[in-house]
């Protein structure tokens, strides 16, 4: 086994750690702590945060990549180990080979037979045409009539196991957190439901394709789960990558004013006046050419897809940075007029110190709010970009690619609805949770709501 | 006022130059003129001579920024940058890579775009305001909370699903309207119903929620409290006080979008085969017709800047306290 | 909590009514009711996307999935453009509509061209004379050829062209061809064909034919060099320049002289490159300012064929209309066996064309065009593609012995025209590749193992819905030299079992890998896994297909790496010999095996010819090349067939391509469309198409009964939305009335 760290893997871990550090540091600033406390003090806040956290956790697990070692060959010089060029992630292991149980082609959810007829021969060699049995789905059954009861018992077992796991997970938290002032109960309920669903899915998937299979025979539930990483990463990295530039320019413009301010304003007005979709399209095409011209920089196909993915994040960041930059500039302008900043100037404190001590910490909440607010729209944008043809690399699992591919399936008779539904479900849950959470954050940080008043 | 507008237009010039320069660099790094020639000419029997001829025909055989061979001002004017980019300032879009005149196409395709975008825009705002008012009337009740949850739910669904779902149900299963198409004559309503329905329904979530916030914000103002103290009824407060005052942010928020209506909707037009500017752009992106994309980027920037200026003007109109100087 | 609101209502003391709000509510209701009534009372299909006129009986309704880029016959080389060009222009020769194997027939000519052979001094010689230097084709035109009415032919009273402008200003008001009030026409002269060929050589037009044809037509290279290149202002009369190999004997006779021998040349005469172009049309389109309004030959073709273009709005639709001046042309009286039974001869002897108009609407979304076809608004399921990929087994069954529609579609009376096109899609090995290329026994075995490991049948069935047949040789069915059955089977990949080819087992593939030095897909010396690289176009391979291919090769332990790139990059890689496994496709230009076997001809390798050769595999086999050179100039016959057979065997032994298949397309036709036989090579078939408009109207109405209940639901929903507001409003009114004005 050889770990493989993609650029996006590194970035997402960096992001998560810095977020955790940020929250730990929150304790120092009473004002901010209180506002965040307000978000988590609601049951909705707890539940949506739990859902988002689960998605992020899945994305993190799916970001621990490695390549399997191949067995040594007799007669070959010892010592050198070769690796499979297929990249596996920890998540794949946890899903218990869900992605390895291929069918020949389409099959409906919980189906026993393929969705497509095939030429077959019976015992005496006479050819006929019928729906063949699946290779994996329901293979353990004796007769097709047993299916309903089998699904019931398998589900029951899965749910039982799920409850057991949930009990352990929630119980552990209860021990430590029962005195916490936050409504953890709501979160625990959400956790329990998600765990039960997940365990049920993984256990039943061993016997059936819960969401059917796609044209190439790959489990749709597996694909949808693999899409989580893409969605979460896109939603977060796009903001993260542009953050340093937007913050630096915004703070500089607001702090130094004068020609620096003019320059920065010019830059973001220019960029924001270009229709976003055209800018994205043009830039993605450009990165694609760079990747094509430098094939040696990427040893595995996934790295190529990853480079394109990061490029897309970067460009999405560029198109959305101007609003962040504008906000930070305005806030810095306001801050630099305040008495203590003026006083610091009077005492001859260096610019760098003023920026680091007084300005930056006070604009950080804007960054976080923007981060939360942009998240859902970025996830949604991915699907649209895939349709236009400038989205995620087609070789990466993503909901946008699934929707784009599933579009034509609606014209089939009968309809193949499960690919679209799978992507739809997993996407809506994430975006809904993110939207609801963002609402709470916005309410809590809205300068017009003073802290005491909201509880009335 | 006039002086203000003139000055704003003057400010727009460096921005447009920036846009122009940026797109130029983007597009000539992406695909060299040779690449473009090959992708336009096709694969069979293409020789370097043919590629060269194509480049000459389309004016890509010139140097990028500086032409050392040409004398005098020709050193700057006989370059790709001058012939392809600077001319855009005169709204001379030139010809697409496939040889069609872009300005002619833009002026033809503008009308279908507007035919879809304007009703979509107007009906959308109207429906959103109505729904938002209705919800505000029930502010503080469970109905309000459910409505907000519904809005957020509607917002969380990808636009693609609205279009695909709408086409599938209304046109394919129920057979109420044609699934796609467009016509310039009196049958136009047939083709517009579904795109507008999809556009409006998909916009309710974010739109109505936004208007609701605006109305509630107004509702928390001093004057509303005063009015209520004077014994004004809730409905009267809503229509007499809140609505007119909330119109200012509504107006200024939507004015900036109006010029962009010309550009149409990328997805709506492509799914419903509406021959507007949106599908024009999409086709250009997919066939990598950079001349069109370049022109549309420039056009979009101009419209955006016009939108900004209109917004400023609408402030003075909606709020007499604001004076432009 | 509703109560809270209502309880506050009576306390209201509003003085004025809220007129705008009420008006809006009423408006909204009215609008809804209007649409509701429209739907409930209308009898015509609501969802008809076409304007309905009773006189439209003979209007063919179809769609295009992409916009044609070029309609100039000298420039176009794409199928989606040939659909229009072939209806509008008439080259000297054409193909018989029904007969198979494909048969050339004279169309614009009185008879097939006369061939004579000349030596270097211009003296007649026999065909196999050593001294043979030129071949001369003499073409004699029919006497009833007329151009379509067109403003370029319009003359004023003095007999001078009417629309000839000196400045762009003069012609400003004409934006499209139909805007010109006056039109005219004239006979087609032999010189028009000569003019058309001269245009192929014009460097400004940059015809894709120039490089290829100048090898053959005498003096074409010199002619091309003689013309002033771009940039060129205004019209250049090509009549002022002379091409050695072209001669006009009289108004109806011309000769074309070729260097050496080229027996395939008549096939080229059936392609639209050899269409007649009237010089005055060329001059007309060079009017100042015309090009800025897209008034060019590339957008508004002018020909003598059965149809003419009356609308070209590439944003929306292309409309062709019957050419009133079309020559006498009749439906063929004979066909191949089975045509009589299939009803293809029902219209025998009738005057062509049948259609008055043909409308091609732009429609890109598969869901849309498939729905419109099923609803009866498109007459056929496609012009170039049979039906959207994605419709499969449930709708119809594709099996080796034929195709049958499922019962639901069959009940609607849909008919099918399967068409195996003479084209081949393949993944080829680069023979120069250090790992997979080469001609040693090990390398051959390695490639054969990979061939066996790739189950083409499965691939076709999953990703092409079974619409293709495995190609055992480079020559597709329908082309002479294609062998069926056991004789045509590739014995290195297949075994003949029970009367059909059966792919060899994976065990054999594994055994071959061992013999090639890669046991279990690992290099026997170093243990390094064998990794193969596929150079594909980014758009061509999606995730599903990619995973499938990876899975297939992992069965024999081989790792696959995709190197997707855009079209230009992959092409560049192929041209420089840097690919390992590449994907390519070739469609027949004409029905001759030479057009396929040259894909493996050594000098066609891009690295050798330093040109855009088509032998991307860089296959170089002296034996093969020698056979090819002999075969090329031989007339059809057993001798030629034997040579072809040897070449195919070499191809099979050397395992040059990973897999290959011939696409099979199934075109569905609505029951009111007749004479749907697909040709495969020629696109000039619209003139044979006939439709029954009355039946179409009847079936359309029957198939498009709208579902009304959603409208009821929508209305109820609307009322439910508005009602609370109205109730509140009325309560307030009554409250006001009670309390009076304050």
pLDDT tens-digit readout, C165-222: 988 888 888 888 999 999 999 999 999 999 999 999 998 887 878 878 888 899 999 9
Q: Is C688 a domain residue?
A: no
Q: Is B234 a domain residue?
A: yes
Percent of chain A at pLDDT above 70?
93
At residue A451, the pLDDT reads: 42
Looking at the partner chain, which of B263, B285, B296 has a beta carbon nearest the beta carbon of A389?
Answer: B285
Who has greater pLDDT, C671 or A285?
C671
Who has greater pLDDT, A257 or C250?
C250
Q: Do C368 and B131 touch (CB under 8 A)?
A: no
Q: Do A410 and B168 touch (CB under 8 A)?
A: yes
Q: How many residues does chain A have?
A: 456
Who has greater pLDDT, C590 or A303?
C590
Between CA B129 and CA B204 the distance in angstroms is 9
> Does residue C565 sit in helix, strand or coil?
strand
CATH of the domain at B282: 1.10.3720.10
Q: Is C37 a domain residue?
A: yes
Q: Are A85 and A68 in contact (CB under 8 A)?
A: no
Q: Do B176 and C377 touch (CB under 8 A)?
A: no
Q: Taking CB atoms and an 8 Å cutoff, what residues of chain C touch B133? A: 725
Q: How confident is the model at residue B325 (pLDDT cuts 50, 70, 90)?
A: low
Q: How confident is the model at residue C331 (pLDDT cuts 50, 70, 90)?
A: very high
Q: Which two tokens stand for residue C283?
A: 């001059």
Q: Do A412 and C391 touch (CB under 8 A)?
A: yes
C442 and C330 belong to one structural domain:
no
Q: How many CB atoms lie within 10 A of CB C120?
A: 10
Lowest mean pLDDT among A153-157, A294-298, A404-408, B54-58: A294-298
What would the mean pLDDT of C32-52 be, rounded to a whole number? Answer: 63
| DSSP structure class, residue A219 | B
Q: How many CB atoms lie within 10 A of CB B225?
A: 12
At residue C228, the pLDDT reads: 87
B148 and B277 belong to one structural domain:
yes
Quick: pLDDT tens for B277-311.
988 888 888 777 778 888 888 888 888 888 888 88
Q: Which domain holds residue C34?
A: 2-46+706-741
Lowest mean pLDDT among A228-237, C542-551, C643-652: C542-551
Q: How many CB atoms lie within 10 A of CB B40?
A: 20
What would the mean pLDDT of C413-423 be, rounded to a whole number? Answer: 79
B131 and B256 belong to one structural domain:
yes
Q: Is B95 a domain residue?
A: no
At residue B79, the pLDDT reads: 73
Question: Looking at the 3D structure of chain B, how many domains does it have?
Answer: 2
Q: Taking CB atoms and an 8 Å cutoff, what residues of chain A touch C497? A: none
- For chain C, list the contacting chains (3+ Cβ pairs, <8 Å): A, B
The answer to whether residue B160 neighbours chain A at the CB level (below 8 Å) is yes
Is it the case that residue A347 has pLDDT exceeding 50?
yes
Q: Taking CB atoms and an 8 Å cutoff, what residues of chain A touch C519? A: 73
C136 and C260 belong to one structural domain:
yes
Q: Are C471 and C427 in contact (CB under 8 A)?
A: no
The answer to whether residue B219 neighbours chain A at the CB level (below 8 Å) is no
Quick: pLDDT tens for C66-118.
888 889 999 888 778 889 999 999 999 999 999 988 899 999 999 999 999 99
At residue C404, the pLDDT reads: 56
Helices (H), B65-141: 74-77, 80, 102-137
Q: Which of C543, C550, C559, C570 to mutate to test the interface with A (most CBs of A within 10 A)?
A: C543
Q: Do A85 and C388 touch (CB under 8 A)?
A: no
Is it the case that residue C383 has pLDDT exceeding 90?
no
Who has greater pLDDT, C398 or A229?
A229
Q: Taking CB atoms and an 8 Å cutoff, what residues of chain C touch A394? A: 538-539, 541-543, 546
At residue C393, the pLDDT reads: 40
Question: Which of 20-49 (B) contact A at CB < 8 A?
Answer: 22-23, 26-27, 29-31
Quick: pLDDT tens for A262-319.
999 888 888 888 888 888 887 887 777 677 666 666 666 677 788 888 888 988 888 8
Number of Cα atoms under 13 Å in the Cβ half of residue C671: 15
Pairing of strands C104-106, A118-121: unpaired
B120 and B220 belong to one structural domain:
yes
Q: Is B36 a domain residue?
A: yes
Can you spell out the DSSP letters for B119-171? HHHHHHHHHHHHHHHHHHHTTTSHHHHHHHHHHHHHHTS-HHHHHHHHIIIII
Q: Taking CB atoms and an 8 Å cutoff, what residues of chain B touch A44? A: none
Is it the case that residue A75 has pLDDT exceeding 70?
no
Q: Do A274 and B301 touch (CB under 8 A)?
A: yes
Question: Looking at the 3D structure of chain C, how many domains does it have?
Answer: 3
Is it the case that residue A121 has pLDDT exceeding 80?
no
Q: Which of A61-75, A397-411, C310-324 has the highest mean pLDDT?
A: C310-324
At residue C529, φ and ψ (nearest 5 deg) are: -70, 145
Return the CATH number of the domain spanning residue range A220-455.
1.10.3720.10
- For chain A, list the contacting chains (3+ Cβ pairs, <8 Å): B, C
B135 and B246 belong to one structural domain:
yes
C36 and C80 belong to one structural domain:
no
Q: How confident is the model at residue A59 (pLDDT cuts 50, 70, 90)?
A: very high
Q: How many CB atoms lie within 10 A of CB A42?
A: 16
At residue C11, the pLDDT reads: 34
Q: How confident is the model at residue C152 (pLDDT cuts 50, 70, 90)?
A: very high
- Considering only CA atoms, which of C667, C607, C710 is closest in space to residue C417? C667
At residue C653, the pLDDT reads: 93
Is it the case that residue C463 has pLDDT exceeding 50?
yes
C20 and C133 belong to one structural domain:
no
C730 and C649 belong to one structural domain:
no
B40 and B133 belong to one structural domain:
no
Region for C618 from its dihedrals, namely left if φ exceeds 0, alpha if ψ lies in -120 to 50, beta otherwise: left
Chain mean pLDDT for chain C: 84
What would the mean pLDDT of A42-71 be, rounded to a whole number? Answer: 91
The answer to whether residue B161 neighbours chain A at the CB level (below 8 Å) is yes
- Considering only CA atoms, which of C123, C267, C110 is closest in space to residue C190? C110
What would the mean pLDDT of A15-43 be, rounded to a whole number? Answer: 81
Q: Taking CB atoms and an 8 Å cutoff, what residues of chain B touch C210? A: 50
Q: How many residues does chain B have?
A: 325
Q: Which residues lie across from C139 on neighbouring strands? A: C254
Looking at the partner chain, which of A76, A395, A407 has a beta carbon nearest the beta carbon of C546?
Answer: A395
At residue C282, the pLDDT reads: 94
Q: Are C106 and C122 in contact (CB under 8 A)?
A: no
At residue B162, φ and ψ (nearest 5 deg) are: -60, -45
Last residue of a domain, one of B59, B90, B121: B90
Q: Do A293 and C569 touch (CB under 8 A)?
A: yes
The answer to whether residue B293 neighbours chain A at the CB level (below 8 Å) is yes
Q: How many CB atoms lie within 10 A of CB C400?
A: 10
Can you spell out the DSSP letters for B293-312? HHHHHHHHHHHHHHHHHHHH
Quick: pLDDT tens for A16-27.
888 888 777 766
Q: Do C707 and B175 touch (CB under 8 A)?
A: yes
At residue C338, the pLDDT reads: 87
Q: Are B166 and B197 in contact (CB under 8 A)?
A: yes
Q: Is C376 a domain residue?
A: no
Q: Do C390 and A300 touch (CB under 8 A)?
A: no
Q: Do C725 and B134 touch (CB under 8 A)?
A: yes
Specify the pTM. 0.85
Q: How confident is the model at residue C403 (pLDDT cuts 50, 70, 90)?
A: low
Is it the case that residue A34 has pLDDT exceeding 60?
yes
Chain mean pLDDT for chain A: 84
B34 and B115 belong to one structural domain:
no
Quick: pLDDT tens for B186-215.
778 889 999 999 999 999 998 998 898 888
Is it the case that residue A150 has pLDDT exceeding 80?
yes
B44 and B83 belong to one structural domain:
yes
* Closest-CA residue of chain B to A279: B297
Is it the case that residue C400 has pLDDT exceeding 70?
no
Q: Is C671 a domain residue?
A: no
CATH of the domain at C296: 3.90.76.10
Is it the case that residue C126 has pLDDT exceeding 90?
no
CATH of the domain at C487: 3.10.105.10
Q: Do B280 and C49 touch (CB under 8 A)?
A: no
Q: Is C315 a domain residue?
A: yes
Looking at the partner chain, which of B157, B161, B300 has a beta carbon nearest the beta carbon of A275?
Answer: B300
At residue B3, the pLDDT reads: 82
Q: Which two tokens stand for residue A417?
A: 């609805």
Chain pair B-C, CB pairs under 8 angstroms: 195
Q: Is C551 a domain residue?
A: yes
Percent of chain C at pLDDT above 90?
43
Is it the case that residue B46 has pLDDT exceeding 50?
yes
At residue C1, the pLDDT reads: 33
Q: Which two tokens stand for residue A434?
A: 């993110």
B86 and B112 belong to one structural domain:
no
B70 and B118 belong to one structural domain:
no
What would the mean pLDDT of C257-272 be, rounded to a whole number? Answer: 92
Quick: pLDDT tens for C334-355.
998 888 988 899 999 999 999 9
Q: Taking CB atoms and an 8 Å cutoff, what residues of chain C touch B31? A: 568
Q: Do C529 and A84 touch (CB under 8 A)?
A: yes
Q: Which domain holds residue B177?
A: 107-324
- Considering only CA atoms, which of A51, A55, A413 is closest in space to residue A224? A55
Q: Is C405 a domain residue?
A: no
Is it the case that residue C2 has pLDDT exceeding 50?
no
Last residue of a domain, one of C635, C663, C691: C663
Q: Are C60 and C691 in contact (CB under 8 A)?
A: yes
The answer to whether residue B164 neighbours chain A at the CB level (below 8 Å) is yes
What would the mean pLDDT of B149-178 be, rounded to a whole number? Answer: 90
Quick: pLDDT tens for A171-229.
999 998 888 888 888 999 999 999 999 999 999 998 899 999 988 888 999 999 999 99
> Does residue B1 sit in helix, strand or coil?
coil
């Amino acid at each position: 086994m050889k770990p493989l760290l993609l650029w996006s893997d590194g970035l997402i871990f960096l992001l998560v750690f810095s977020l955790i550090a940020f929250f730990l540091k929150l304790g120092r600033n009473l004002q901010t702590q209180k506002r965040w406390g307000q978000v988590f003090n609601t049951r909705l806040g707890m539940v949506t945060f739990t859902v988002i956290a689960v998605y992020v956790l899945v994305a993190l697990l799916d970001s621990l990549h490695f390549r399997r070692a191949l067995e040594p060959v007799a007669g070959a010089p010892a010592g050198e180990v070769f690796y499979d060029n297929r990249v596996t992630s920890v998540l794949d292991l946890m899903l218990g080979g869900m992605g390895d149980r291929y069918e020949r082609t389409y099959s409906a959810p919980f189906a026993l037979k393929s969705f497509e007829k095939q030429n077959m021969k019976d015992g005496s060699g006479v050819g006929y045409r019928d729906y063949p049995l699946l290779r994996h789905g329901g293979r353990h059954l004796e007769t097709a009539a047993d299916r309903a009861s089998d699904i019931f018992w398998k589900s029951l077992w899965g749910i039982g196991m799920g409850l057991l796991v949930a009990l352990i997970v929630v119980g552990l938290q209860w021990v430590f957190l029962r005195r916490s002032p936050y409504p953890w109960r709501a979160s625990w309920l959400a956790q329990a439901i998600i765990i039960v669903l997940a365990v049920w899915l993984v256990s039943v998937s061993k016997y059936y394709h819960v969401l059917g299979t796609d044209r190439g025979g790959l489990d749709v539930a597996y694909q949808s789960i693999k899409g989580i990483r893409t969605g979460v990463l896109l939603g977060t990295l796009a903001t993260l990558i542009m953050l340093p530039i937007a913050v630096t320019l915004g703070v500089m413009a607001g702090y130094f004013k004068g020609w620096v301010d003019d320059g920065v304003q010019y830059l973001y007005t220019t960029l924001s006046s270009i229709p976003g979709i055209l800018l994205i399209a043009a830039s993605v095409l450009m990165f694609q050419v760079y990747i094509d011209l430098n094939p040696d920089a990427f040893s595995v196909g996934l790295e190529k897809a990853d480079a394109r993915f990061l490029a897309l994040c970067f460009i999405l960041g560029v198109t959305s940075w101007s609003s962040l930059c504008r906000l930070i500039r305005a806030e810095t302008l306001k801050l630099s007029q305040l008495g203590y900043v003026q006083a610091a100037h009077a005492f001859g404190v260096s610019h760098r110190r003023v920026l680091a001590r007084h300005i930056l910490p006070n604009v950080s909440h804007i960054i976080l709010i923007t981060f939360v607010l942009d998240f859902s729209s970025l996830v949604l944008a991915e699907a649209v970009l895939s349709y236009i043809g400038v989205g995620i690399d087609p070789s990466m699992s993503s909901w946008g690619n699934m929707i784009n591919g599933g579009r034509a399936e609606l014209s089939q008779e009968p309809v193949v609805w499960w690919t679209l539904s799978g992507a739809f479900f997993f996407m809506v849950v994430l975006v809904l949770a993110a939207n609801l959470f963002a609402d709470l954050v916005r309410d809590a940080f809205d300068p017009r709501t003073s802290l005491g008043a909201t509880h009335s | 006022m006039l002086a203000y507008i003139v000055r704003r237009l003057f400010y727009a010039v460096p921005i447009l130059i920036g846009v122009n320069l940026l797109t130029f660099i983007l597009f000539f790094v992406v695909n060299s003129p040779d690449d473009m020639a090959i992708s336009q000419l096709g694969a069979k029997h293409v020789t370097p001579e043919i590629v060269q001829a194509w480049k000459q025909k389309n004016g890509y055989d010139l140097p990028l920024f500086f032409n050392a061979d040409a004398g005098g001002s020709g050193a700057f004017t006989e370059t790709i940058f001058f012939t392809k980019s600077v001319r855009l300032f005169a709204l001379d879009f030139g010809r697409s890579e496939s040889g069609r005149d872009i300005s002619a196409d833009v002026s033809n395709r503008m009308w279908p775009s507007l035919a879809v975008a304007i009703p979509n825009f107007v009906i959308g705002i109207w429906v959103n305001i109505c729904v938002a008012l209705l919800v505000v009337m029930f502010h503080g009740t469970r109905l309000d909370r459910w409505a907000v949850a519904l809005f957020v739910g509607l917002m969380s669904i990808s636009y693609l699903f609205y279009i695909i779902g709408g086409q599938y149900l209304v046109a394919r299963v129920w057979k109420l309207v044609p699934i796609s198409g467009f016509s310039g004559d009196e049958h136009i309503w047939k083709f517009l119903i579904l795109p507008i329905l999809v556009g409006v329904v998909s916009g309710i979530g974010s739109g109505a929620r936004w208007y609701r916030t605006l109305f509630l914000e107004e509702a928390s103002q001093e004057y509303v409290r005063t009015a209520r103290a004077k014994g004004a009824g809730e409905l009267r407060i809503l229509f007499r006080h809140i609505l007119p005052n909330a119109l200012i942010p509504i107006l200024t928020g939507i004015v900036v979008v109006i010029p962009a209506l010309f550009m149409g909707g990328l997805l709506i037009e492509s799914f419903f085969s509406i021959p507007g500017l949106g599908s024009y752009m999409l086709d250009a992106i997919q066939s990598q017709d950079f001349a069109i994309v370049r022109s549309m980027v420039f056009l979009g920037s101009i419209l955006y800047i016009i939108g900004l200026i209109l917004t400023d003007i609408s402030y003075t109109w909606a709020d007499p306290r604001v004076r432009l100087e | 909590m509703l109560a809270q609101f209502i309880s506050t209502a009576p306390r209201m003391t509003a003085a004025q009514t809220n007129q705008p709000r009420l008006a809006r509510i009423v408006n909204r209701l009215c609008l809804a009711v209007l649409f509701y009534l429209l739907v409930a009372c209308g009898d015509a299909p609501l969802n008809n996307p076409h304007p309905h006129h009773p006189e439209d009986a003979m209007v063919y309704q179809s769609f295009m999935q992409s916009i044609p880029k070029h309609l100039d016959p000298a420039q176009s080389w794409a199928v989606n453009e040939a659909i229009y060009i072939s209806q509008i222009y008439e080259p000297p020769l054409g193909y018989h509509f029904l007969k198979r194997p494909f048969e050339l027939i004279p169309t614009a000519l009185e008879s097939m061209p006369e061939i004579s052979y000349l030596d270097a001094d211009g003296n007649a010689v026999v065909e196999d004379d050593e001294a043979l230097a030129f071949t001369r084709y003499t073409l004699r035109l029919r006497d009833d050829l007329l151009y379509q009415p067109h403003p370029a032919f319009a003359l004023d009273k003095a007999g001078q062209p009417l629309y000839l402008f000196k400045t762009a200003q003069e012609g400003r008001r004409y934006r499209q061809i139909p805007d010109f009030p006056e039109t005219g026409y004239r006979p087609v002269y032999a010189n028009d064909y000569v003019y058309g060929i001269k245009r192929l050589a014009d460097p400004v037009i940059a015809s894709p034919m120039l490089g290829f044809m100048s090898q053959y037509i005498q003096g074409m290279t010199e002619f091309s060099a003689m013309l002033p290149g771009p940039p060129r202002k205004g019209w250049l009369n090509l009549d002022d320049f002379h091409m050695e190999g072209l001669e006009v004997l009289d108004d109806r006779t011309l000769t074309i002289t070729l260097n050496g021998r080229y027996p395939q040349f008549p096939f080229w005469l059936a392609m639209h490159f050899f269409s007649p172009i009237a010089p005055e049309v060329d001059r007309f389109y060079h009017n100042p300012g015309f090009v800025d309004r897209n008034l060019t030959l590339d957008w508004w073709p002018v020909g003598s064929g059965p149809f003419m273009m009356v609308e070209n709005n590439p944003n929306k639709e292309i409309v062709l209309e019957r050419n009133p001046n079309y020559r006498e042309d009749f439906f063929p009286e004979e066909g191949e066996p089975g045509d009589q039974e299939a009803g293809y001869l029902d219209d025998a002897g009738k005057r062509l064309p049948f259609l008055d108009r043909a409308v091609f609407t732009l429609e890109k979304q598969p869901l849309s065009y498939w729905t419109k076809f099923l609803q009866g608004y498109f007459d056929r399921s496609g012009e170039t593609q049979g039906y959207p990929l994605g419709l499969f087994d449930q709708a119809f069954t594709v099996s080796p012995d034929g195709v049958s529609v499922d019962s639901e579609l069959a009940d609607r009376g849909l008919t099918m025209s399967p068409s195996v096109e003479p084209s081949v899609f393949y993944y080829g090995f680069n023979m120069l590749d250090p790992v997979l290329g080469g001609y040693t026994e090990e390398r051959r075995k390695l490639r054969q193992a990979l061939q066996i490991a790739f189950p083409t049948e499965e691939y076709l069935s999953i990703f092409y819905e079974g619409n293709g047949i495995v190609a055992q040789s480079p020559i597709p069915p329908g082309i002479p030299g294609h062998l069926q059955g056991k004789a045509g089977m590739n014995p290195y990949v297949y075994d003949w079992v029970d009367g059909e080819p059966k792919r060899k087992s994976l065990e054999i593939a594994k055994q071959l890998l061992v013999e090639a030095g890669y046991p279990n897909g690992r290099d026997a010396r170093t243990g390094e896994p064998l990794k193969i690289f596929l150079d594909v176009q980014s758009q061509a391979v999606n995730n599903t297909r990619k995973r499938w291919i990876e899975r297939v090769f992992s069965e024999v332990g081989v790792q696959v790496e995709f190197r997707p790139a855009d079209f230009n990059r992959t092409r560049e890689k192929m041209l420089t010999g840097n690919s390992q496994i590449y994907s390519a496709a070739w469609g027949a230009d004409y029905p001759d095996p030479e057009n396929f076997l040259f894909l493996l001809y050594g000098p066609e390798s891009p690295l050798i010819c330093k040109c855009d050769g088509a032998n991307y595999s860089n296959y170089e086999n002296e034996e093969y090349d020698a056979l090819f050179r002999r075969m090329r100039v031989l007339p059809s016959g057993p001798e030629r067939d034997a040579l072809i057979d040897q070449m195919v065997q070499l191809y099979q032994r050397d395992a040059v391509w990973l897999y290959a298949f011939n696409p099979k397309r199934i075109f569905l036709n609505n029951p009111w469309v007749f004479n749907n036989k697909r040709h495969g090579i020629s696109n000039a078939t619209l003139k044979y198409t006939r439709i029954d408009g009355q039946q179409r109207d009847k079936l359309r109405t029957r198939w498009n009964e709208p579902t009304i209940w959603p409208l009821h639901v929508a209305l109820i929903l609307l009322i439910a939305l508005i009602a609370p507001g109205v109730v509140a409003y009325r309560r307030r009114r009554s409250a006001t009335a009670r309390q009076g004005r304050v």
